[in-house]
Amino acid sequence: MRTPADRILLTLKTHPPGETLALAGALGISRQAALQHLERLVADGLVTHTDERRGVGRPRRIWSLTA
C-alpha cells in the first residue's frame, strides 16, 4: 500500500502541476493533511511550488516535482 506522500508524487508525475485542494481531493485527504505531506516533500527536495495570483485573495500554491 502506498503512503499519501507516495500518492502525491505519483499524482504530480502523471498530472502536473497540482493545487493543494485538488491534490487533497484526488487522494481523499484533508487540505491540511495534503499540505503537511507536501511540506515534507519540499524539505526532502522532491517537490517545489510557485504562487499564482488569480484575482482577489491569497495566491494559489501550485505544486510540481523537482528535476
Per-residue pLDDT tens over the stretch 32-47: 999 999 999 999 999 9
How far apart are the C-alpha atoms of 15 and 24, rounded to whole Å? 14
Is the full-model pTM beyond 0.85? yes
| Weakest mean pLDDT among 5-9, 22-26, 39-43, 53-57 | 53-57
Q: What is the pLDDT, as a whole number, of residue 10? A: 93
How far apart are the C-alpha atoms of 36 and 34, rounded to whole Å? 5
Q: What is the pLDDT, as a whole number, of residue 1? A: 64
Q: What is the pLDDT, as a whole number, of residue 23? A: 93
Residues whose CB is less than 8 angstroms from the CB of residue 4 and which lie 6 or more positions away in sequence, other chains included: 27, 29, 33, 34, 37
- Say if CB 59 and CB 52 are below 8 A apart: yes
